[in-house]
Chains A and B, each alone.
Chain A
């Protein structure tokens, strides 16, 4: 059986839909289930339903052969996994946003930046030769400038709605990201044929979605 670590949250629905589309059925509603793992009816794949930030860890440690997770988290963590396929869904962007509608060139030195993505933010500001103070938060990042914890934020956005509601303007885009399929290097060798076929099926579907 091939074990797939799947990110709970906004990627899960589309992930399950994609797996169903390539022919897997599950004995219960995966989205509503409170179980932590679910096998498909043919017992070919087992899904581990875990937090997005833990998916790369499960895969790099070899507990899962495959993982489905956002490119943003892969960029942030740089795990020792193989990237096999861009699944195209779950489009979002990591952006720099603040209360003033300024351009990236207008960013002053010594800003305080609230973010969950400290590595990505650090890389971005270094590339712009800006000295900043990063403040790590785990949620409600948009609240930080309003409360005075930080001057600006570096956070994910899909539609920009939450930013607008909090009177924040996008200053720059660090990167855009979609869901990706990753593999443990030895998991790939252990289930070589299966995974190649699996990637082919997914690639066919996701490229069809693109058109």
Chain B
């Protein structure tokens, strides 16, 4: 029956599936609230003209854009970080810093037009995540990782591991080598990037401070420092995280620091964020 079809890249959730998702979201929300994060909501549809300077070219290309009923050029929320930066810079500049915010809504991304990877992907992806705005210290990273670990424990997801990277790791590389690294072409790069324990960050004051703190919290066993951890999205300006389980080899959360994003909305504040891929979490929690 043709009228049973839905667009490619979107999914239905019948009660049993919806229940599972809402259980996960409420477990996460409880944890976030315990750590004093507050819920923030952004509209599903945004004006392209408001977000385009803050969005990286990749994100702009991947976003779903169209004309609304008023003829305005609009975009379905392609991530939460950019719309939240917009709200904070426009309506929350007098609030006490740091702001600790969380969100639980879908984002919409389509495959890149020239992407060579033609893996089937969801366009609507459910995310649950956190932002800390106005704290430039490594303390912000540490609290995000703490919340993340607590959340995964509350969901009974075990055997998790955290890889931590930093934009400083790749600063010394030429643009061509940086591109090879981003593409995962270690053959062109000439080596497999180093990955390991705290000895790798001994000369990096920020990350060795983070490493000390993680050790004090007994989280160091689940953390590796990874000089090859880079992302396609270029607004990160410091630490990068990737949280995954070794059993399934799937990434369940990602994040990092993006200290120059809020400046593009006229409110120069450091920020760091982390988002769970809720569809991935649904694979574990049943």
Do A and B pair up? The answer is yes
Q: A-side interface residues toward B, CB under 8 Å?
A: 60, 62, 65, 75, 77-86, 119, 180, 184-190, 192, 195-196, 199
Shortest A202–chain B CB gap in Å is 12
**CB pair B116 A180 closer than 8 Å:** no
Q: A186-B244, A186-B251, A189-B195 are in contact. Are A82 and B186 (CB under 8 A)?
A: yes
Do B186 and A78 have beta carbons less than 8 Å apart? no
- B280 CB, min distance to chain A CBs, angstroms: 12
Determine whether the beta carbon of A79 is less than 8 Å from that of B192. no
In the complex, A146 Cα to B144 Cα: how many Å?
Answer: 64
Determine the chain A residues whose CB is within 8 A of the CB of B184 once the complex forms: 80-83, 185
Check A192/B250 contact, CB under 8 A, given A78-B115, A83-B187: no
B96 at the interface (CB under 8 A from A): no
Within 8 A of A (CB), among B94-144: 115-119
Known contacts A78-B115, A189-B161, A189-B163: A84-B248 contact under CB 8 Å: no
CA distance A196 to B184 in the complex (A): 15
B: number of interface residues (CB 8 Å): 23
B208 interface contact, C-beta 8 A: no
Asked if B91 is at the interface (CB within 8 A of a chain A CB), the reply is: no
A187 to B119, CA, bound (A): 18
Take A62-B248, A190-B249, A192-B195 as given contacts and tell me if A84 and B117 are in contact as well, using a CB distance cutoff of 8 Å: no
Residues of chain B within 8 A (CB-CB) of A119 are 116, 118
Chain B interfacial positions (CB closer than 8 Å to A): 115-119, 161, 163, 184-188, 192, 195-196, 224, 226, 244, 246, 248-251
Report yes or no: A77 in contact with B163, Cβ–Cβ below 8 A.
Answer: no
Interface centre among B116, B117, B185, B226 (most CB of A within 10 A): B116
Name the residue on B nearest A184 (C-beta).
B249
A83 in contact with B186 (CB, 8 Å): yes
Partner of B187, one of A75, A85, A185: A85
Chain A CB count within 10 A is highest, among B119, B185, B250, B251, for: B119
A80 with B249: in contact, given A192-B195, A199-B192 (CB under 8 Å)? no
B192 touches A186 (CB 8 A): no
Whether A80 touches B187, Cβ cut-off 8 Å, given contacts A186-B251, A189-B195, A190-B246, is: no
Are A77 and B117 touching (Cβ within 8 A)?
A: yes
Asked if residues B117 and A79 are in contact (CB atoms below 8 Å), the reply is: yes
- 23 residue pairs from A and B, CB less than 8 Å apart: A62-B248, A75-B116, A77-B117, A78-B115, A79-B117, A81-B184, A82-B184, A83-B184, A83-B185, A83-B186, A84-B186, A86-B187, A180-B187, A185-B184, A186-B244, A186-B246, A186-B249, A187-B249, A189-B161, A189-B195, A189-B246, A190-B246, A195-B192
Residues of the A chain whose Cβ atoms lie less than 8 Å from the Cβ of B195: 189, 192
